[in-house]
Structure 1
Amino acid sequence: MLRWIIFIVVFLVIDFYAFQAFKTVVKNNWLQMVYWLITLLVIFNFIFNYYGFDRSNGFSHVHAYAFGFFIALLVPKMIVLGFMFAEDVFRVPQAIYRYFTEGNAAQGNYFASRRAFISKMALGIAAIPLASIIYGIYKGKYNYKVLKYTLNFEDLPDAFDGYKLTQISDIHSGSFDNLDKVKYAVDLINEQKSDVILFTGDIVNNKAEELVPYKEVFNKLKAKDGLYSVLGNHDYGDYVKWESDEAKHQNLEDLKNLQKEIGFNLLLNESKFLEKNGERIALVGVENWGAGGFKKAGDLKKAARNVHENDFKILMSHDPSHWEREIINDDYHYHLTLSGHTHGMQFGIEIPGWFKWSPVKWRYKYWAGIYKEMGQYINVNRGFGYLAFPGRVGIWPEITVIELKKGKPLA
């Protein structure tokens, strides 16, 4: 109860400043009432859905939208708060000084006009994230982008020169609310006509049953050399309160069977070889291994036990912290690692090829796109779906297409 009281008090302080700016610019009493009506509806909806909330009981679409609309309201008001509070820091001392040196009449118009200017500027800037978040909730989460890369390797087998793979990650099928958009994305994947499709974990949020409505969509995925997958941290059902250990185990078995029905060859700390014209490359799949308290079921040595040191290797590992902590320094030299997990935090600013930023960079060194260390590459996919926040802002859902070329790597 105490945390909710603190939450309400903090939000009232934020809203005090936000409303000061709003009423300075908007004089209409009815619009001011609408302001408070929307605010109260969003806040009470959030409290209603999250008071006593236990993540282990599941996270529904209702929870997601309650959270999404709360964020849509909070972020712009925080921006307004920053402007108005900063203005008060300068305004109040000046007001006191002018009162004692010039009198009350001399200062009134000056400070009133400046407050109006700051209010307009604050509201104008706050409107940008407001519009972006609303767009992200209704459109951005299905704004699929195909990102294409060409990577050169001197030791790539000749038969695989020009070989194309498509990577998808973090489907989180339990979050979807638009079947047609998912069908569109699957068609987009097939349009790439890659030789192989690789999925790097988190096909559900928690339970295998989330995937059932989308099984007939994802089983339309096609690639000449097949579909391969690994498990992510959400696939094990660790975040749910199960009635028994047997139920949890059965959920994982159901998930494995559903992936098989879709057409995925699930690699559980094991490897397969992709062969072409008498040559081969090794495809190694580890179970989830994540730093910072995440599940560490991945066993790199076990997964690669049938792989020769000199084989060309593609590794699938859900969490990019695995690459940083274990894979880069492994004696086997994994040419290309494919990961996901971060979602790019589903929020950021990105100009492809020029600039990318997201708060998730403070948690993960490798969080989106291609990175190269010690002659090895990793691609961190931004994710196909979404989780918790029902949208994406600036960091769009991703379908990665990587072409392997024989040749000297670019600097």
Structure 2
Amino acid sequence: MLRFFIFIAIILALDIYAFQAFRFMVKGRWGTILYFLITVFIIGGMVYQFSTGGRRNMSVLTQFFIVSFVILIVCKLVIIATMFGEDIFRFFKSAFANLPAGRQERNSDSFYFPSRRKFVSQLALGLASIPFASILYGVIVGRYNFKVLKYTLTFDDLPEAFDGYKITQISDIHSGSFDNKEKVDYAIDLINEQASDAILFTGDMVNNLASEMEPWKESFGRLKAKDGKFSVLGNHDYGDYVDWESAEAKVENLDNLKTIQKDMGFNLLLNEHRFIEKDGQRLAIVGVENWGAGGFKKAGDLNKAITGLNKDDFRILMSHDPSHWEFEVKDHPDHFHLTLSGHTHGMQFGIEIPGWFKWSPVKWRYKYWAGIYEDSRQYINVNRGFGYLAFPGRVGIWPEITVIELKKGGATA
């Protein structure tokens, strides 16, 4: 509770500071009151929604307050940064002006501190309009702005029968957040258009409850691949973020989700593997339960999942959290040619110029957070996610459908 009040105090202090940029716009006492009432309304709405189950049920009202809160914080941080820059300038200007030389120059012994300049306030508001517009675009358009990202990975020891084999990876559906069937169906058709040999889903089908997937069973049941659809569980699939009335209810929820996945044609791998065979050769699809660093569930058992595999089997590992690859997989005595993960969503916020630049604040939490990485001839692809969670939008980090083609010999393209 103390942390909560400290947090509110910090927000209000920042709001008072940011108010300096609005002074030239606000006329009279009621304008000032309205400015602060907006902040109180947004923070109060957030607190109320989440204290009454908002995290579990992402209603339209809950999403409204989340978006409003993000806009409030991001835009005012931009304003504060701009105003603070001017305050540093004002401080040094004042320090010089109050030295003997400065007093002599301005012919006055009185203390001098320069006032704020109106154009700086206008600049601050102008700069804040950029994230404001970006966030609105991310909510209205970005969350369903599906992108197909294609990679070709080359392996010397890929069985010849699988030269040119295509895999489509999707991750982090978070079906409890969806509100537009037409857009989701468009993405399903987009996946099927890739005509991949196999579809691999790397966890977080729901936000919390198996029932969230019920309205979308028909849509995702339409996914087709010649060699099948494979899936693993993500941290949200276990229902760990719900206050269940009983342990039995939580178990039943997970069992229901497993049944739903089966009904949609997914082969759910729970620390186990399957073989895909072609012309007398094979590759192994290995799937582990969630294993995540930093307090996330560690149900994944890699050694159990590979029991029965030969050392020279070509392996594609499905593991929801990329920290598993960092801490257990890439330094494992056995070789895992390709690992497919998700989980990070790219934080649903960042800047990307394909092939040139990639940044998101999530990089401070996850070393491997989006795209292809390589270590010791082992690759991982961290999918940016199909859906969205909490914040109902994406800014710069778009929902992703990954298509990976496996090639034998040569360099990676």
Normalising by structure 2, report the TM-score: 0.91
Aligned to 1:16: 16
**Aligned match of 1:73:** 72
Q: 1:399 to 1:3 in 2, by over 3 A?
A: same
Q: Residue 319 of structure 1: CA displacement?
A: 0.8
- What letter corresponds to residue 205 of structure 1 in structure 2? N
The offset of 1:18, in angstroms, is: 2.2
Q: Which amino acid aligns with 1:316?
A: M
Contact kept? 1:17, 1:85, Cα under 8 Å: no
SS in 2 for 1:295: coil
- Structure 2 unpaired stretches of 5+: none
Q: Which residue does the alignment assign to 2:121? A: 119
1:60 corresponds in structure 2 to 58
Aligned twin of 2:273: 271
**Which position in structure 1 is the counterpart of 2:187?**
185
Secondary structure of the residue aligned to 1:242 is coil
C-alpha deviations, 1:378-400, integer Å up to 9, x for none? 00001111111111111111000
Q: 1:206: how far off?
A: 0.9
Tell me, in whole angstroms, the C-alpha distance in 2 between the residues paired with 1:103 and 1:294: 66
Determine if contact 2:202/2:231 at 8 Å carries over to the other structure. Answer: yes
Question: Is the Cα–Cα contact under 8 Å of residues 370 and 377 in structure 1 kept in the other structure?
Answer: yes
Q: 1:97, 1:8 → 2: CA distance? A: 37
Distance change in 2, residues 1:9/1:325 (3 Å) = closer
Q: Equivalences for 1:328-339 in 2 at 5 Å?
A: 328-339=330-341
Take 1:97 and 1:405, find their aligned partners in 2: how far apart are those partners?
Answer: 67
CA distance in 2, matches of 1:401, 1:283: 16
SS in 2 for 1:370: strand
Residue of structure 2 equivalent to 1:208:
210
SS in 2 for 1:136: helix
Q: What is the alpha-carbon distance in structure 1 between the residues aligned to residue 124 and residue 383 of structure 2?
A: 35
Secondary structure of the residue that 1:302 maps to in structure 2? helix
Instruction: Evaluate the alpha carbon distance shift between residue 296 and residue 124 of structure 1 in structure 2; reply closer, same or farther with a 3 A threshold.
Output: same
In structure 2, distance between residues paired with 1:119 and 1:202:
44
Question: Given the alignment, which residue of 244, 250, 254 partners 1:252?
Answer: 254
User: 2 CA distance for matches of 1:278 and 1:198?
Assistant: 23
Amino acid at match of 1:42: I
Alignment of 1:308-387 (within 5 A): 308-387=310-389
User: Which moves more between the two structures, 235-244 or 93-102?
Assistant: 93-102
Work out which of the residue numbers 270, 284, 287 in structure 2 matches 1:285: 287
- 2:203 aligns to what SS in structure 1? coil
CA 286–5 in structure 1, closer or farther in 2 if over 3 Å, else same: closer
Residue of structure 2 equivalent to 1:294: 296
Q: Structure 2: how far apart are the matches of 1:273 and 1:5?
A: 55
> 2:378 and 2:212 mapped to 1: Cα distance?
36
Length-normalised TM-score, structure 1: 0.92
The residue type paired with residue 80 of structure 2 is L
SS in 1 for 2:412: coil
Aligned-partner SS, 1:401 = strand
RMSD: 2.5
Kept in 2: contact 1:201–1:230 (CA 8 A): yes
Distance 2:94 2:2 in 1: 37
Query: Aligned partners of 2:135 and 2:283: how far apart in 1?
Result: 43
1:261 paired residue among 242, 260, 263: 263
Q: CA deviation at 1:363?
A: 1.2
Q: Secondary structure at the match of 1:403?
A: strand
Please point out which of 287, 302, 305 is paired with 2:307: 305
CA contact (8 A) 2:93 2:114 kept: no
**Counterpart Cα distance in 2 of 1:298 and 1:208:** 20
Specify which of 402, 409, 412 is matched with residue 410 of structure 1: 412
> Identity over the aligned pairs, expressed in percent?
62
Deviations 1:17-69 (A, max 9, x none): 32221233x3667987875564454333223324x4568x7242333331221
* Contact 1:317-1:339 within 8 A present in 2 as well: yes
Give the direction of change, closer, same or farther, for the CA distance of 1:18–1:261 in structure 2 (3 Å limit): same
The alpha-carbon deviation at position 306 of structure 1 amounts to: 2.2
SS in 1 for 2:23: helix
Counterpart of 1:281 in structure 2: which amino acid? L
Q: Identify the residue that residue 197 of structure 2 maps to in structure 1.
A: 195
Contact 2:271 2:287 in 1 (8 A): yes
Counterpart-to-counterpart distance in 2, 1:268 and 1:8: 43
The more displaced of 34-43 and 396-405 is 34-43
Please state how far the C-alpha of 1:138 moved relative to its aligned partner. Answer: 1.7
Count of residues in correspondence between the two structures: 406
CA-CA distance at 1:78 after TM superposition = 1.1
Counterpart Cα distance in 1 of 2:79 and 2:162: 55
User: Secondary structure in 2 aligned to 1:193?
Assistant: coil
- Paired with 1:173 and 1:103, the residues of 2 have a C-alpha distance of 70
**For the residues of structure 2 that align with 1:93 and 1:381, how far apart are their CA atoms?**
48
Aligned-pair CA distance for 1:266: 0.4
How much does 1:107 deviate? 11
Give the secondary-structure state (helix, strand or coil) at the position aligned to 1:165. strand
CA contact (8 A) 2:210 2:254 kept: yes
Q: Could you give the per-residue CA deviations for residues 196-221 of structure 1, whole angstroms, max 9, x where no partner exists?
A: 10000010111100100111111011
Q: 1:167 and 1:76 mapped to 2: Cα distance?
A: 35
- Could you tell me how far apart the structure 2 residues matched to 1:2 and 1:157 are? 60
Distance 1:311 1:15, change over 3 A: same
